[in-house]
Structure 1
Amino acid sequence: MRLAVFLEQYEKGGVDTHLLNLITGWEAAEDSFDIYCNREHKGLGLITEQSTGRACIVTYDSVAYDCVKRKLPKPLRFLLYPFFPFFFCLQYLQAKKLLRDKSYDVLLADNGGYPGGWGVLASIIAARNLRIKRRTLLVHHAADPPRRLWGGFERAVDHAVARACTDIVAVSKATRETLIRHRRIASREAAIQVIYNSVSLASNANTDSDINLRRAYGIDAEFLIGMVGRVEQYKGQEDLIKGFADVPPALRDKMAVVIIGGGADTEVERLRSLAATLGIIDRIHFTGFLNGDPKSLISQLDLLVVLTRDFEGFGLTLGEAMAVDVPVLATSVGAIPEFIDSNCGVLIPPASPMHVTAALAEFASEPAPWRERSNNARRVINSFSVEKMARQFRNVFTR
C-alpha cells in the first residue's frame, strides 16, 4: 500500500509528533509513506530527521492565503482578503499537481484544527478527482464556526470536503463534537471515527535528552513545577504565574516554575513583566524551545501543569507525563476529561488562577496523593501505544 500524507503547518507542534508516532508504529513493512510538507513549516527539520528510512519527504512552497499574507507589510494585508477563494483554488491546483501520476492508494490529509490548513482540505478534493481510493481527513483540534464574510464559501468547501472524504478521523470525542456542531461536516456522529493519539514510551535518540533543568537554570527548590508547550495566551501560562504568586509564601518557597517552549517575544516579555510585578520573577524560569526528548524533560518535573483556556484536542504533554509517572494538573477543557479523571490527575476550571493557587498549595503541602494518582495514570496511558494507533489507522485505510 502506498500512502501520501499532506501537511500544511507553520509551527512545530503535536501534529508533527502524532505523524512521527504513526510512522514509527506502522507494522506493515511493505507499505510506503510520502509526506508532503510546506517548506515554511518550522517542524520540517524534525519530521525529516526523525522519519529517515521510514518515509520520503516532499516539500513544496505553499501558495496559501496565510503564507502570502505573512510576506506583506501589515498595513497592506487587508488587500488580500477579498481574494481568499482565489488562493484556495491555487492550493487545489497545487495539490493536484503534486499528487498526480503517483498511484497512491491512500491520502491522509493531516490537519490541525478545522478548517485549519486550507491546502489540506484542497488536497482531499484533489485526491477525489485523481481517483485515489481512500481519502482520510484527520483533525486534531477544534473546528471553528464559519467566518461571516466568507461563510457561504466556507460552507461550500465543507460540503465538497465531506463528499470527497471516504473517512473522517478525529483525535477525540470533543474534536468530533465540534466538527458536527460548528461545521456540520457529518450528518450523524457515527460518520466521524475517533482514534486517540498515541504516546511513545521510548526515548528519542535524536534529541539532547541529557538536558538537566535544575542544573541548567540554577534551580534548588524542593518541587519543580513545569509547563511544556508554545507560549501563547490561550495556553494559560499567565494563569500559572498569577496562581503561583498567591500561594502562601511558606509553601511557594518550596517551589520553582519552569516554562518550556518558544513563543512570540512580545508574549514572553509580557509574562516576564507580569512575574516581576508580582515579585516572583526569581522563581519563574523561561527556557524557550529546548531540543530535548519531551519525556526526559517532563520526567524531571514534580508536577506538570496544562492550563489551556478553551480547547485541547488530546494534550500530548499530558500523555507523556502520565507515561513517566509525573503528576498532572490540567484544566477541564476539550478532550482532557476523556482520559484524565480524579483517579489519575487533578482537573480545574479554565482561566482560574484562584484554582491554580489552591491546587499548588495542596500539592506542596501533601504531594503523596498526587503521586498515587500518577501511578494510576501510568496504567491508563499504557493503552495508548503507537502500535495500537497505527493499526487503527491501517484498518481505516484497508476496510
Structure 2
Amino acid sequence: MKIGIDVSSAVNQTAGIGRYTGELVAKLLEMDGRNEYVLHSFFGDASDLAARLGLPLSRIYVHGFNGRALRSYLLGLKLIGRTPNHLIRKVDLFHVPDFSFPAPKGIPSVLTVHDLIFLRYPEYFTWANRTFMRQIAKFSAHNASAVIADSYSSKQDIIEYLSIPEDKISVIHLAAGSQYVPAARQQIDTVLGGLGITEPYLLYVGTMEPRKNIATLLKAFSYCIGSMRDFPYRLVIAGSKGWLYDDIFKLVEELKLNEKIIFLGFIEDNILPALYSGAEAFLYPSIYEGFGLPVLEAMACGTPVVCSDVSSLPEVAGDAALLFGPRDVEQLAAHILSVIENSQLRSSMIEKGLVNAERFSWEKTASDTLQVYERLG
C-alpha cells in the first residue's frame, strides 16, 4: 500500500502537532517494512524534515509544492473545502495529522483531531479564527474515512461537537520522546548554568496564552511565597508568547513577582530533559488539553507533576500526579507546598510518574495507527 501523509505541520514546527507528526512518521518507517510512504508538504520543504528526522530516503517519496501549487491549494480549500487532487501524488490512502488541511476527494483518508478547544472554549479565540476552524473541522471529520483522537476526552468532544459516530473514532495516545529520561546531575548543571538558573525552581512548560491558565499558577505561587518563611524557589516559565500574553506580565507586576519568576521563552527539545529533571516540581494548570504531552515528559524525567483535573489530563497522568481544580488557587498552592515539604510524597510521585510514563510509547502510537491504515486499505 502507498500511504500519503501530510507533514506540513512538522516541517517548520517541532512542538505540538509538528512533534506528533514527526515522531509518528519516524516510527512508522522504522516499524513498517511493507508499505511505501509519500510525505506531502504544502508549506516548506519536506526534504528538510526527512533530513532532520534521519528518515531513510530510499523508502519514502518527498512531495513538495511551488508557489503556483500553493495558490491552487488555497483556492481549492476556499471553493470546495478540500485539497485539490492534482496536488496529491497517487496514493492508496492519505493521512492528515492536522485537521486544518482537509484530505482530497476519492481517496480513503485518516484524520487526526487533537482537540476542539475552539468549540469548548470559543472565548479564547477571535471570531474569524474559531469560525474558520469550526467549518474545516466539521467538514474534514465528516468526510474522513476514519478519525483518530489523542485521548478518550477528545473522542467525547468529537462525538458531542462534530456529531461523528463513535465507531468511526479510534483513540491512539501519544508519548514522551525517547530523549525524555532523568538527566545526569552534570548535564542538569550545565543546562541550568547556560540558562542563568542558580536557585531551586518550579517549572511550567507551554505556550503563554489564556487557556494555559498561567494566571492561576502565578496566584498560587504568590500564595506559597506568603505561606512559607524564606521561600527559596523561583518559578521558571518556558514557552513561546501566545495570544494575550501581555496579561501575564501585567499580573506579575501586580503580584510583585518580578524577582521570583524567570521567563525563558521557547526552549529547544535537546535542553528540555535537563530542565525538567532539575525542577522541584512540574506545574500544569491548563484549562483544556487534547493530550498534554508536557505532563508525560516531566514524569519520564523523574519530576513530580501537579496538574489540573480537566479534559485529558487525568487520563494521561493516571495516579501519578496531584490534581486540582483549574481555578482553585489555594488547592494548587497546597499541592505545591506538599511536594516541597514532604520528601516521602515527592519520592512516591517520582516513582509513580516513571511507571506511568512507560504506559505510553511512540511504538504503540505508530502500531495502532498502522492498524487504522490497514483496516481502510
TM norm structure 1: 0.76
What is the CA-CA distance between 1:335 and the residue it aligns to?
0.8
Q: Tell which deviates more after alignment, 386-395 or 288-297.
A: 288-297
Q: Which amino acid aligns with 2:210?
A: Q
Q: Which amino acid aligns with 1:89?
A: L
Q: Which amino acid aligns with 1:260?
A: A
CA contact (8 A) 1:345 1:370 kept: no
Q: Tell which deviates more after alignment, 166-175 or 31-40.
A: 31-40
CA contact (8 A) 1:211 1:297 kept: no
| 2:26 match | 24
Q: Deviations over 1:103-157 (max 9, x none)?
A: 312211112xxxx51xx22x2xx2x42xx3x411111112654999999999997
Q: Deviations over 1:356-392 (max 9, x none)?
A: 2222222222243033122112112212111111111
Structure 1: state its 5+ residue gaps.
Answer: 68-84
Q: Which amino acid aligns with 2:344?
A: A
Q: Distance in 2 between matches of 1:139 and 1:21?
A: 16
Query: Helix, strand or coil for the counterpart of 1:333?
Result: coil
Q: Distance in 1 between matches of 2:326 and 2:53?
A: 36
Q: How does 1:149-298 map to 2 (within 5 A)?
A: 161=140, 164-186=143-165, 189-202=166-179, 212-221=190-199, 223-249=200-226, 250=228, 253-264=231-242, 267=245, 269-293=246-270, 294-298=272-276
Q: How does 1:139-150 map to 2 (within 5 A)?
A: 139-142=113-116, 144-145=118-119
CA contact (8 A) 1:4 1:107 kept: yes
Q: Deviations over 1:217-255 (max 9, x none)?
A: 43333x321111111121122221121111144356221
Aligned identity (percent) is: 18
2:76 counterpart of 1:96: no
Q: Distance in 1 between matches of 2:268 and 2:251?
A: 27
Structure 2: state its 5+ residue gaps.
Answer: 182-186
Q: Distance in 2 between matches of 1:154 and 1:292?
A: 28
2:2 counterpart of 1:2: yes
2:359 counterpart of 1:396: no
What is the CA-CA distance between 1:260 and the residue it aligns to?
0.7
Q: Distance in 2 between matches of 1:237 and 1:162?
A: 31
Q: Distance in 1 between matches of 2:48 and 2:307?
A: 27
Q: Distance in 2 between matches of 1:356 and 1:280?
A: 17
Q: Distance in 2 between matches of 1:316 and 1:378?
A: 14
What is the CA-CA distance between 1:160 and the residue it aligns to?
5.6
Which residue, out of 380, 383, 394, partners 2:356?
Answer: 380
Which residue, out of 101, 104, 108, partners 2:95?
Answer: 108
| 2:310 match | 333
CA contact (8 A) 1:144 1:183 kept: no
Q: Distance in 2 between matches of 1:281 and 1:152?
A: 37
Compared CA separation, residues 152 and 138, structure 1 to 2 (3 A)? closer
Compared CA separation, residues 350 and 155, structure 1 to 2 (3 A)? closer
Query: Helix, strand or coil for the counterpart of 1:247?
Result: helix
Q: Which amino acid aligns with 1:396?
A: V
TM norm structure 2: 0.80
Q: How large is the RMSD of aligned CA atoms in angstroms? A: 3.6
2:288 counterpart of 1:299: no
| 2:111 match | 137
CA contact (8 A) 2:81 2:139 kept: no
Q: Tell which deviates more after alignment, 300-309 or 349-358.
A: 349-358
Q: Distance in 2 between matches of 1:252 and 1:271?
A: 25
